[in-house]
Structure 1
């Protein structure tokens, strides 16, 4: 057998202490629909085998550091060489104009706004982006830019795959990381949604928002609205209880020699007296 035809065995990675380990020990790593969506998109690119090797790296804690910022994820991954490899995953952030359209669309839907304000990702949020001609998740490899300092010429390598799995877990913990990757941080987005829905402090916030979700005003959701008090005019006497009869057209009815209206007056006055009696303190 020709020895030169034999390939050397793959070098094992240097084990490290204190690395970032995936919480999942077996099976799928992504738990929520939005993180699974991210992994499904990656797997649809024909990256299955390398993702599996990357999954083992992620579970073994080979990723030393992972940071996510606008457009860019950077990870330091310990491989078989002493120097850790730097893996980068970049995606195009939405522009300021695009984010303004997105925020208005989200704020215009009470359910979307309520779920986001509660820290949840609405299940059909992708539809909002689709209707605006935008994609929340990448749909082709051209939308992602990946590179790694390792000698493997294949993209993605196992180091990039490990970073992808840990990014998916970060999406599980905080769905706003997906939006931050696209250019809008959690607090900035929530402040914009509150402002657009009229929930900021100031005169605008004093008027009730009919579309406000239950989560924003649970204490008043089951309360009947208070009847507005009739405005009092200074210097005037209270209206007589039978004054309404004087506003009506004369009834063409008489009982004996008395018009029907005059026979109704005592009844109106008596009912008004009963109401005042009921309101007296015990």
Structure 2
């Protein structure tokens, strides 16, 4: 049987306390406050490793993670455990290739709201639909989409050290959703520059028009621009012959005002019938 005496010792002594580590902002309850970071945490928690996940939260909140670095496809970290030498952990995910990103960017460029929300530090909820349309997933939905390893002697994956890194990674997604995209192969500047370029190439007719103002909607039904829409003079009632016609006096049939054409007929109508 493998020697597991280290496990008993680790449970007895606990991790070596450190100063200056990376601490989770959350002091209790769930870690991950935005929907996009929770997507990532849900994958981790779906494994059902309650004890190790709880220990991972404690490690994250105690600042046992000494360093955390994210680059394309790979997150690396060092974690101080119960041994003198910190453990090394890695979490890898498959990045999208250039052709896949080109298709993603083309769809994203079709809606200005995506770039606007990303620039505001928010991940638009509809972004998942963009990836799904291309049969891709921005967020992992199965633990098998992640490759994780740690230099600690624990045989379980994820161990508490990896769990601590995952929770801190989720909090980093809260602060900057572009990190999720960078992990998948596109950093902030590259993506936004590409979206601006694609949108600038679109014909003017295909670009989104601004939402019409209320007065513009009203003027559509009157047949006149907003500045020409006028209220009926005070004291005018619909019972006065021609009152309504006076409001459309600028409408013409050939060279003749529609008012002049309709007034004879209008005078013969009894408004009280």
Common topology (TM > 0.5):
yes
Deviation (angstroms), 1:9: 6.5
Residues 67-78 of structure 1 aligned to structure 2 (within 5 Å):
67-78=69-80
Q: What TM-score do you get using the length of structure 1 for normalisation?
A: 0.69
Alignment correspondent of 1:90:
92
Distance 2:209 2:124 in 1: 16
Q: Which residue of 2 aligns with 1:192?
A: 194
Q: Structure 1 pair 8/150, CA: closer, same or farther in 2 (3 Å)?
A: closer
**Which string of whole-angstrom CA distances, capped at 9 and with x for unpartnered residues, describes residues 222-248 of structure 1?**
9x9xxxxxxxxxxxxxxxxxxxxxxx8
Q: Distance in 1 between matches of 2:145 and 2:67?
A: 24
Q: Tell me, yes or no, if the aligned pair for 2:10 and 2:82 is still in contact at 8 Å.
A: no
> Which whole-Å deviations, capped at 9, do the CAs of 1:102-141 have from their partners, x for residues lacking one?
1111111232232123332101211111111001111222
Segments of 5+ residues of structure 1 without an aligned counterpart are 215-220, 225-247, 252-282
Deviations 1:25-83 (A, max 9, x none): 11112011100111012111223332211000000000000000000000100000111
Larger Rg belongs to: 1
Residue correspondences, number: 215
Is the 1:180–1:186 Cα contact (8 Å) retained in structure 2? yes
1:73-97 superposed Cα distances (whole Å, 9 cap, x missing partner): 0010000011100010000000100
How many Å separate the matches in 1 of 2:53 and 2:185? 26
Q: Which residue of 2 aligns with 1:153?
A: 155
**1:212 to partner: Cα distance:** 6.9
Q: TM-score, normalised by structure 2?
A: 0.71
Pair 1:58-2:52 in alignment: no
Partner of 2:208: 211
Instruction: Please list every run of at least 4 consecutive aligned residues from structure 1 whose deviation after the TM superposition is greater than 3 angstroms.
Output: 207-210
Cα distance in 1, alignment partners of residues 41 and 154 from structure 2: 22
Q: Deviations over 1:148-182 (max 9, x none)?
A: 01111111000000000000000000000000000
Give the unaligned 5+ runs of structure 2: 217-253, 257-273
2:101 aligns with one of 58, 74, 99: 99
Contact persistence 1:110–1:212 (CA under 8 A): no
